[in-house]
Amino acid sequence: MRKAQLKKYAKLLARVGLNIKKGQTVFVAAALDQPEFITMVVEECYKAGASEVYVEWSHQPTDKLSSQYRSLESLSQMSPWVKAKWEYKAKNFSCRLWIESEDPDGMKGVDQEKMSKARQAMYPQVKPFRQAMENRHQWCIAAVPGKAWAKKVFPELSESKAVEAMWNAILQASRADGKNPVQAWKEHNADLNARCDYLNALGLKYLEYKSANGTDLRVELLEDGIFAGGREKTLKGRIFNPNIPTEEVFTSPKAGAAEGIVYSTKPLSYMGQLIDNFSLRFENGKVVEAKAEVGEALLNHMVSMDDGAGKLGECALIPYDSPINQSGLLFYNTLFDENACCHFAVGHGFNECLKGYEKLTDEECKARGINDSMIHVDFMIGSRDMSIVGVTKDGKRVQIFENGTWAF
């Protein structure tokens, strides 16, 4: 991959993804893949005005060993130095950039019961810091090709050629393969904002999803809910793009208000393992049945992590003919696959999907219907024949999606 194009990608993450302001601290979380690119990112963060940039390196094989050899008690406790880092990030509203590259099968074989209990124990320790930072700092998730991940996506290629092909796929999906990625994202954000404006003007109360694969689900929306997409804004007005790539227009539905069944249309990579060909049936807004041909036990663990894990936290609208879907690739990574077609997320909802959320406490947002959970897991449900009908507060029916894509 040409260094010049990678530098443009690194600049995109610093200037558009995070939109760093002068004097901010930046934390970059990355695995031991593509260290040369991470070096470019660090430099671009400094050029954008960062005062300090820290890289938090990880390595999936050693993470797997930790899960195997550490006791549940050890995995469930926040060490003093980890707590100190969280306190620093929350106090300074540090920018955070996650660079994904993990092997989709890299955690296969770990004790899921043990890891679930550890996450449940850690969540209340981390939650206060996350709440303190929510909507107050810029963050972004992007990706680079790890060797194992690249071979998973391109099994017919040699390792080096698979990595090269993966770079091409990531840059294309991220609109970072052209002469001016920053300008490309300016235009893309404008298109997403226009679609949000249209949907928000309709005054929708329900979304009804139907597909020939059996999906038949009615989801109630929030009384004061809004659709968002592309760029987001901190409480102090700083614009940033949390996901690169992104194709979605999304909202958080009313917690505990969904009826029917939905079928997945792509595999889900969760905690380093795959869940495939699955369905979730909702009654009174909560999952009452979870079935899967692959990973059913893990799926049931996921939707029972806490009281909100089996409720919807997000409805995302993405046309079936999106650039990522047109690529014909299955990335085995939620950041990309969720942007191929429509998806839901079970778990945590977004306060910013409420009008006037900036004047509300977290508890008030939850009281108005934003779901609360320790997890937020996206899964793909879009299909070529999917129909989505919006029902307005006065009963009018509006076709939102037809034949898998926008009807407007």
Q: Could you give all domains of the chain from N- to C-terminal order, each with its CATH number? A: 3-173 (3.40.1830.10), 196-406 (no CATH)
| Helix-, strand-, coil-residue percentages of the chain, each rounded to 5 | 35, 30, 35
Q: What is residue 131's predicted lDDT score, i.e. its pLDDT?
A: 87
> In this structure, how many other beta carbons lie within 10 angstroms of the beta carbon of residue 122?
16
C-alpha closest to that of 283 among 318, 258, 316: 258
Q: What is residue 1's predicted lDDT score, i.e. its pLDDT?
A: 66
C-alpha to C-alpha distance for 132 and 91, rounded to whole angstroms? 8
Residue tagged 């050899």 (tokens): 69
pLDDT tens digits, 50-101: 999 999 999 999 999 999 999 999 999 999 999 999 999 999 999 999 999 9
CA–CA distance from 382 to each of 211, 213, 280, 386, 403 (Å)?
Answer: 8, 10, 14, 6, 10
List, for the chain, all residue ranges whose pLDDT scores fall below the cut of 50: none
- Cβ neighbours of residue 109 under 8 Å, at least 6 residues apart? none
pLDDT tens digits, 265-284: 999 988 878 899 999 999 99
pLDDT tens digits, 366-375: 999 999 999 9
- Alpha-helical (H) ranges within 21-94 are 35-47, 60-69, 72-75, 80-92
C-alpha to C-alpha distance for 314 and 345, rounded to whole angstroms? 5
pLDDT tens digits, 9-30: 999 999 999 999 999 999 999 9
Q: How high is the mean pLDDT of the chain?
A: 95
Whether residue 240 contacts residue 13, with contact meaning beta carbons closer than 8 Å, is answered with no
- Alpha-helical (H) ranges within 308-358 are 323-326, 334-337
C-alpha closest to that of 33 among 24, 22, 41: 41
Q: What is residue 113's predicted lDDT score, i.e. its pLDDT?
A: 87
Whether residue 68 contacts residue 110, with contact meaning beta carbons closer than 8 Å, is answered with yes
Q: What is residue 183's predicted lDDT score, i.e. its pLDDT?
A: 97
**The Cα angle at residue 26 between residues 22 and 29, in degrees rounded to 5:** 160
State CA 233 to chain mean position distance: 17
Residue tagged 């980890």 (tokens): 82
